[in-house]
Every structure is written in structure tokens, then in C-alpha cells.
Chain A
């Protein structure tokens, strides 16, 4: 039957052989190469691992475990880990797309399943590919504050990360031997410099268009351009190059960005109100209460600390305020005390934050009234905000009204 033969021929043309994935019909490109796939895969594996480890660290800050306290020193540690998290996530975008482009014809390989191992491997590609795309997409959308979904970003991003990492472990196990062989052997074609007339037919130069090395360089170049145009939101000397960064560390109220304005937090009336008080209560011998002017006159301690947003931007400032540990002593709290800091902001997951023992007693953990010589603006947490070393910005609670000793 000629029609059936024609269909079979067409299917053969449009599909690939799982054993000879490079021997493709419709998708032939000299760039679809094992070694290139291995290079891209290894790079992506490194970037995703950086994102996962730094993401876990950030999660641990926001969901503390009593048996695994996070260090409050060095003070800039969270700034480094979270900047790395966001920068590695952004840089992985071109590499993920390139990797998927190189291996995409495997998606249409026939027969779809050869044996049990192949079936397990192919099923595992779904959480890997879908999860990888989800993580990069949701991360980039989140830093641009674009929320086309209805789920809570931190929880979804965190749990899908486990799915991706699990799929990555399975994938590395499946590809280890192939990737190692591909990375170990020298390139099958002579490099450009060695190309001569005799080798012309097989040298990189003979192929019009990007060489494999050129393709890899371009993809890394794309990751580099994205990094260069965004990383200035946290590496302040590169601020002027950060044309595509969602934040500028020198733009915002009092020349500094904020993630949540006073209007969005619903504290425009309560924060500047003469009824405002800071109350220190809980497991204390003396309940304390201060108004805004008393706090301002008590604010004598200064510390230079970074404020580092989970979204990857940060800046360093000189803060002035009252030490939390001095307040604990004044209230007669136990030496082992921990504390929870509550905001005037209601109904947000970030309305309060926890200070473990090390953080509560750190000499630089302040309830600040000033930064860089200026009284805090409403958007920066007037009349009082928490600032402590090595904490994520979301835990540097603003519009602080209660310190509950635990």
C-alpha cells in the first residue's frame, strides 16, 4: 500500500532512533552532539545544585529548625548565598534552553520504550524537564513580581525543587557513563587551528554556522550577558550595568529599594500614629513599653549590615537603633531567651519573624530607628524595624510593635 509506505517513511523521517539519537533525519545538526549535551548538562547540574543548596539555606532561615540553628555570622553570608541563588537561576535559563534544544529529538524517538530501564529513564525525564522549566520560569517571574498563578510562590518553588533534584539524581545516574565518556575523550573533530585542506571536510570550519564550541560559547555568553545586566542589583559596583535588573540598589524611598511599601502593608495610619508603642512582653520579669520618641532617644548602637532580599537584590547600610539583647536584659528575660518580633502589618506570613538565641543576643541585632543618618521612612519600617546580621530581608521585620520573649 503506497499510502501506508508514505506514512511509514514520514514517521521514520520525523522520529529518531533511541540507540542512534545523533543519527537523526529531520533534526540533523552537527551541534546535536553527545559531548555538547554533556557539557551543557554538567553546567546545568552545577547551576541547579547551587540554586538548590542556597535555596535550602534560605528556606531554613524562613522555617527554622530548633536542632539546626542558622549562623548569624558572617553578617554578609545570606547576602552572598541568596545573590548566588538568583544569579545562578537567571544564568541557567539559556543553558536549560540550549540543553533541551540539543536533546529535543529524543522526545520523538521510536520505539518510545525499549526496556524497563529505558521506561524508568523516560518517565524520569518528565519531572526533570517540566520541573526545570517550572523552577526557572517561576523564579524569573517572581523576581519581576509577575504572578500569573494562584499558588504561593515560596512553597511551590521549594517543593518542586525537591522534585527537580530527585529527577536530577536519577538522570545523573542514567547518564553518568555516557557523559563521562563524552567529556573525557578529545573532540572528534580537529580544532579550528588545526584545520587544513586535507582535513577541511571534517574540520569545524567546514560547517557553515556555529561550531559546537561556538554554540557553547554563545550559550555561556547569553548567560554572561544576563548576569552582567542583572547582578548589579546586589553587586553594587556593577549597578550601572544592571539594565535588566528588577531592582536598583540606589532607587527607592531615601535612595534604597523596599519590597513592601507601607501602603501595601496597610500601616499608613498605625505606624505614624501617636498611639504607637513598642511592647516587650512574654517570658519577662518586667513588661516594657516605649513610644517612638523614647525609642529614638534610646537608639545609640550602630552597625553596618546588609539587607538582602530573597529576590536577589541587596545593599549595605549603617543602621542605628536599640540592641535587642539590651531590651531583653531590661525586661529581665532569661539568658537563654529567644524572641519573636511582630509587625503592625496584619495577616501576612511575614508579619512576624523569629530570633533564635544567637541572633537575639548578637551585639548587632537591632531594632533600628535610623539608617545612613536618616530617620527611617515609612516604607523602610518607621518607627522601628528589625535589622540583624545574616538574615533574609523578609525576616528583617518592619513596623515592629511587639517583641515577645520565648
Chain B
């Protein structure tokens, strides 16, 4: 039996029922307050345009980003050598986050406002340095674990 076969225990769900409904009512009241505020301040919030980004973000994640990550994961499992897999996964996760965060910096969208103190660095170079340091750490970590593992599996010397 694997740990995946441990069933969700129904009685605990039932115990959670009153809390579920109370928090659902409170939560949806707060959501309604937010939606009301968005609509009330429509000159600032532009609800139609905002809705595009609200729905678009979720769709972009669920239908584009998540499947791409799943496919990368599958390819990694198939292609990467087993001892290096964990380190490759870690390196890809950290550098992926860095690239995503830096995207608007690297594209330098702020240049249209001509403010020299906005985005003052060369972010392409800085991203390359940061990602380089991350992969340096990945390589060092992978080599260190390989050495430790080899040492651990070596039979003790008898002489």
C-alpha cells in the first residue's frame, strides 16, 4: 500500500461543516464588498478591462503556464539522469521564478517615462549573473551529493 491510498477521512469533513458554511458566508460577503467597490469606482477600476486581466491571468496560468510546466516536468523525468534530477528541478524552479519576475525589468517597459532612477540597472546582465549564481550553486550541490553518496557506498577499509 502506498501513502496515496490513505483516504480522505469523511467524518472530519462533516465536523468542518459549520465552519465551512460560516466562512463561506463571511468570505462571499467580503467578495461582494470588493466587487461592489470595483463597480462603484468604475472610472478608476475600468471593470471591463480589469475583468480581462482577472480572467486572463487565471486562463493564462491554467491553460498555458501550468501545462507547459507539466510537460517540462515530464521531459525532465524522462531525460535527466536520476542522480542529477533533484538538482535540475531545483535549478529550473529557482531560475524560472527569477526569469518570470525579471520579465518587465528586462523588457524595460519603464523607459517610456524617461525617469533615470526608474529601472537604473542593466537587468539582462543582472538576471544572467543571478541565474548563473543559482546554477553554480546547483552544480556545486550536485557534485557534493555525488561525492558524499559515493563515499557512503564505499565499503569500509579493512587494512
Q: Please tell me if B70 contacts chain A, counting CB pairs below 8 Å.
A: yes
Q: Please tell me if B143 contacts chain A, counting CB pairs below 8 Å.
A: no
Complex Cα distance A181/B119, Å? 45
A263–chain B nearest beta-carbon distance, Å: 7
Q: In which size bucket is the chain A interface?
A: 35 or more
Q: A101-B69, A261-B115 are in contact. Are A243 and B121 (CB under 8 A)?
A: yes
Whether B5 lies near A23 (C-beta < 8 A) is: yes
Cβ-closest chain A residue relative to B40 = A159
Complex Cα distance A251/B7, Å? 57
Whether B107 lies near A248 (C-beta < 8 A) is: no
Q: A160-B38, A218-B89 are in contact. Are A151 and B97 (CB under 8 A)?
A: no
Whether B61 lies near A100 (C-beta < 8 A) is: yes
List residues of chain A with CB within 8 A of the CB of B155.
Answer: none
Whether A210 lies near B89 (C-beta < 8 A) is: yes
Q: Please tell me if A104 contacts chain B, counting CB pairs below 8 Å.
A: yes
Complex Cα distance A264/B13, Å? 57
Q: Please tell me if A111 contacts chain B, counting CB pairs below 8 Å.
A: no
> What's the tally of chain B residues with a CB closer than 8 Å to chain A?
84
Whether B27 lies near A146 (C-beta < 8 A) is: no
List residues of chain B with CB within 8 A of the CB of A94.
Answer: 93-94, 97
Q: Please tell me if B73 contacts chain A, counting CB pairs below 8 Å.
A: yes
Whether A130 lies near B58 (C-beta < 8 A) is: yes
Q: Please, what's the 1-or-0 string for B116-153, where 1 marks a CB less than 8 Å from any CB in chain A?
A: 11111101001101100010000000000000000000
Q: Please, what's the 1-or-0 string for A76-119, where 1 marks a CB less than 8 Å from any CB in chain B?
A: 00000000000000100110011011001001000000000100
List residues of chain B with CB within 8 A of the CB of A101.
Answer: 66, 69
User: Which of A167-175, A268-276, A282-290 lies at the interface?
Assistant: A167-175
Complex Cα distance A248/B4, Å? 49
A-B contact pairs, 22 of them (CB 8 A): A104-B66, A107-B62, A145-B109, A150-B49, A151-B53, A159-B35, A159-B45, A160-B50, A173-B21, A174-B20, A177-B15, A177-B19, A178-B16, A189-B3, A229-B98, A244-B98, A246-B110, A251-B120, A252-B120, A256-B117, A260-B115, A261-B114
